[in-house]
Structure 1
Amino acid sequence: MANPRIYAGAKLRETRRRLGLTQKDFAGKLGVSLPYLNQMENNKRPVSTTVVLALAQEFGFDVTELASGDSERLVSDMREAMADPVFADDPPPLADLRLTASNAPGLARAFLELHRAYRETHERLASLDEALGREDARMQASPWDEVRDFFHYCDNYIDAVDRAAEHFAQGAGTGGIAAHAVQALRGEGITVQEDDTEILRRFDAQARVLTLSARVAPETRTFQLLLQVALLKQDQLLEAMLDLARFQSDEARAIAKIGLANYFAGAALMPYGAFLAAARETRHDLERLAQLFGASIEQVAHRLSTLQRPGAKGIPFFFVRVDQAGTITKRHSATRLQFARFGGACPLWNVHRAFETPGRFLRQLAETPDGVRYLSIARDVSKPGGHFGAPVRRFAIALGCEVAHAGQLVYGDGLDVGDKQNFEPIGISCRICERVNCHQRAVPPLERRLSIDADRRGVLPYEVG
């Protein structure tokens, strides 16, 4: 089979501008003419083999990035936005969305920001929020969504923070990462203590005392220790990353700083190189990895989804956490599967069944409407309150990859991935799901005509044409 042509004009332009090169200088280093480079940057020509090799040799560029990046998730996000009834009369074809994501990613993101602002304003009005009468009712993303999208479009991998965390972890020695974190905080004149409290972590800056809850699991206390290390000893790095992100509000910046500190904590608890090697050795066995690194199952699953360092990538995973109502509370995908930005996950997905089988891993072979097949594992990760009568926080997580990688996972053992009958059909969002006979469909698909027959009733009150 011939290798597919790669059109990566936006990625080439981004690389050239990041290097501070003119088109003429960039063309010279790539060994092509200026007109040829111009055509590649405008997606009028595919990226040639000569250019691919030159990018790797001259700039150490991870050439796999040319065929990935933001394009697929932008297309997925735009498809979901176009599923909004406001666009129902004449939605653009999928080919146009792909062209926009490839040639004009900035325009695609601007459209998504505009649609999100529209949705939020519409929801305020629908709920009588009186937003139009408030001075702060600006047409901008909610801080939470803005931060979530920041990590989403970074592939959930923040190189500078990840490497800083790995460097910090290298000093742990035989005493372990928790003792190393305590020592680092003591070096800043901070006393670390535990208390019987529901507050996971409380830092008194004036008294220089960090108090951790004695009620939570040891891995949670270690994580909170490392988070405090990030906030105190990596503050300049975190602030520099926030400056580059250019968040629209102080609230978003504050949320993102906690998110980056969380990222540091996870990366220090499970350092990139050691964790990637252990993941491969254990064939991505979440329970064994949790034991090896003193982490929780959820922390391990989340960390696996971040292993996207250029030149040392792990398996591209998707990771999601849902509550009992099906609301997605965490999401990330390094695969072609992109989660709905609004609403919940497909009810046919095994992550919802995990609540019924606490403590057990569920496996599922699934196929999305685009024909891509996945291995998905799910498990409940409910979190006890720490004492009798305390409320239990109930969640379930799912981790998965394309079925081509199933042999590298212990969870793929014994599954016949060659038989298409073993794959369950799942979707992303009902409005953009093209399946015509789904018994769990909540709303009609946008791009299909409906047939209504008052004298006939099947599973649904309509038929999809």
Structure 2
Amino acid sequence: MAGKLFIGARLRAIREAAHATQAAFAQRLGISTSYLNQMENNQRPLSAAVLLALAERFDIDIATIAQSDGDRLLSALNEALADPLFDALAPSLQELKLVTQNAPSFAHALITAHQAYRRNSEQLASLDGRLAGGLSEPTPYEEVRDFFHFLDNYVHELDTAAEALAERLGLPRREPGAAFTAHLESRHQVRVMQAPAEEGIIRGFDKEARVLRLHPYSPAATRHFQLAFQIAALEAEAEIAAILAGADWRSTEAVEIARIGLTNYFAGALTLPYRAFHAAARELRHDLELLAARFGASLEQVAHRLSTLQRPGFKGVPVFFARIDRAGNITKRHSAAKLQFARFGSACPLWNVHQAFEAPGRIIRQLAETPDGERYLSVATEVAKGGGGFNAAQRRYAITLGCEIAYARDFVYADGLDLSNRADFDPIGISCRICERPHCHQRAMPPLKAHLAVNHDRREIVPYRIV
């Protein structure tokens, strides 16, 4: 282990998940009850022997035991405390780790309070002539985004249920469109038909007539996913309702958006069943195009699914995934890697995901290093969503997928790159508002906590120096 590992809250969660008392859990680990108690209360660090015992006897992944929720929560808390509002209070990284490890609920509460503060400030600063009610509440979209973010983008109940159904349907050996259509007809008496192209709908379900209509010009991968979505809506309703009931929602809109998100999750897990997809990803070295061809999916569906391979004891390579529009807005995001996306502002302009719009149809590779010294392999490509001919509107996005450099050899995209030459790594940040790089020719704004020096007699690329 690198450094001392204080993960008392996580250790306690593992024990409680095993439904074991401290005495029984300690006995299985081969330690005393008092020693376990001290580790759970972060009075002593987790030892190498205990870590190995956890891996052997409780099927715990050693490589990720100190990451996952803690990394995401630490990143979000660190970003919140970068606000000048907290200038007089500068907790150290060790103090922040202690909070996220020992009092995660408190950390979530502080982040929520900071989000409310920012929303109030932004509304007031806009001076749009009116003060809207409920400014302190997050938007439903933000609420659902954070719900999935802190679930690690993995929903075990839905994932395993979808995988079991995929096995019964013979996937991925069968062509998914035919398998899904036959299942809807035989199990639910639902006929699949083409929708009139002029209606412009991707999927429409008539409950009374038991008819599912799909856009006639949608790509095959889109049709497959919409068929899987309808199966999820008909068969996973109870599981989804139970998951929604277990969360503390602020609005009915958030509940309904989350319902769609969970149904989408089941559809993705049905189209790309966990174990088969996990094995194929390793076999094909995460080649997005080959994976898409094997499972009848799109590049975006494959990249997104790779970010959900977080099943306890059977995890995939920890990756980050994001979808970005031309304006730089991150419309989808998740990271199982150390890289965590900014909660406010656009993505770093030096990140290769922006270049994808300049090279349609190509996969662009980048070796990148963040200000904390972590290095990554990042790949990006443009995707278009449309169908319907020359006059039909098309939505264009760029998607990016990447991993920490330690895992780069598991990706075909690392072939031919010099992973040992630090000079080949581009310096990128998370977002300008929290990036502390003093010299960046693409900086849009100074970092929040920076002091600036302005020389009126000297002009460089950026009109100020960060001191």
TM-score for the superposition, normalised by structure 1:
0.94
Instruction: Find the counterpart in structure 2 of residue 163 from structure 1.
Output: 160
Instruction: Find the counterpart in structure 2 of residue 78 from structure 1.
Output: 77
Identity of aligned residues (%): 54
Pairs within 5 Å for 1:39-438: 39-127=38-126, 134=133, 137=134, 139-173=136-170, 175-186=174-185, 187-195=187-195, 196=197, 197-438=199-440
Q: Give secondary structure in 2 for the equivalent of 1:434.
A: coil
Question: What is the deviation of 1:165?
Answer: 1.2
Matched to 2:16, the amino acid is R
Matched to 2:150, the amino acid is Y
Q: Give secondary structure in 2 for the equivalent of 1:395.
A: strand
Question: What is the deviation of 1:389?
Answer: 2.2
Matched to 2:156, the amino acid is D
Matched to 1:349, the amino acid is W
Equivalent residue pairs, number: 462
Counterpart-to-counterpart distance in 1, 2:94 and 2:47:
23
Matched to 2:437, the amino acid is R
Q: Give secondary structure in 1 for the equivalent of 2:212.
A: strand
Deviations 1:275-305 (A, max 9, x none): 1111112111111111111111111111111
Q: Give secondary structure in 1 for the equivalent of 2:263.
A: helix
Say whether the 8 Å CA contact 1:373–1:403 is kept in structure 2. Answer: yes
Query: Which shifted more, 120-129 or 160-169?
Result: 120-129
Say whether the 8 Å CA contact 1:124–1:130 is kept in structure 2. Answer: no
Q: Give secondary structure in 2 for the equivalent of 1:437.
A: coil
Query: Which shifted more, 94-103 or 218-227?
Result: 94-103
Question: What is the deviation of 1:207?
Answer: 2.0
Deviations 1:162-184 (A, max 9, x none): 11111111122354222222222
Query: Which shifted more, 356-365 or 279-288?
Result: 279-288
Counterpart-to-counterpart distance in 2, 1:4 and 1:95:
12
Unmatched 5+ residue regions in structure 2? none
Question: What is the deviation of 1:138?
Answer: 6.3
Q: 1:109 to 1:217 in 2, by over 3 A?
A: same
Query: Which shifted more, 36-45 or 220-229?
Result: 36-45
Question: What is the deviation of 1:12?
Answer: 1.6
Counterpart-to-counterpart distance in 1, 2:63 and 2:445:
38
Counterpart-to-counterpart distance in 1, 2:73 and 2:393:
38
Say whether the 8 Å CA contact 1:198–1:215 is kept in structure 2. Answer: no
Matched to 2:148, the amino acid is F
Q: Give secondary structure in 2 for the equivalent of 1:442.
A: coil
Say whether the 8 Å CA contact 2:434–2:448 is kept in structure 1. Answer: yes
Q: Give secondary structure in 1 for the equivalent of 2:152.
A: coil
Say whether the 8 Å CA contact 1:169–1:177 is kept in structure 2. Answer: no
Question: What is the deviation of 1:416?
Answer: 0.8
Deviations 1:50-97 (A, max 9, x none): 433443455444444431221111121122212333334544333322
Unmatched 5+ residue regions in structure 1? none
Counterpart-to-counterpart distance in 1, 2:447 and 2:351:
18
Q: Give secondary structure in 2 for the equivalent of 1:312.
A: coil
Query: Which shifted more, 304-313 or 339-348?
Result: 304-313
Q: Give secondary structure in 2 for the equivalent of 1:329.
A: strand
Say whether the 8 Å CA contact 2:321–2:333 is kept in structure 1. Answer: yes
Counterpart-to-counterpart distance in 2, 1:19 and 1:310:
13
Say whether the 8 Å CA contact 2:348–2:428 is kept in structure 1. Answer: yes
Deviations 1:227-282 (A, max 9, x none): 11011111111112222233232221211111111111111111111111111121
Q: Give secondary structure in 2 for the equivalent of 1:206.
A: coil
Matched to 2:331, the amino acid is T
TM-score for the superposition, normalised by structure 2:
0.93
Question: What is the deviation of 1:19?
Answer: 4.1
Say whether the 8 Å CA contact 1:193–1:212 is kept in structure 2. Answer: yes
Matched to 2:194, the amino acid is E
Q: Give secondary structure in 1 for the equivalent of 2:204.
A: strand
Matched to 1:262, the amino acid is N
Matched to 2:121, the amino acid is H
Counterpart-to-counterpart distance in 2, 1:176 and 1:399:
26
Counterpart-to-counterpart distance in 2, 1:225 and 1:401:
31
Question: What is the deviation of 1:422?
Answer: 0.4
Q: 1:3 to 1:322 in 2, by over 3 A?
A: closer
Question: What is the deviation of 1:24?
Answer: 4.3
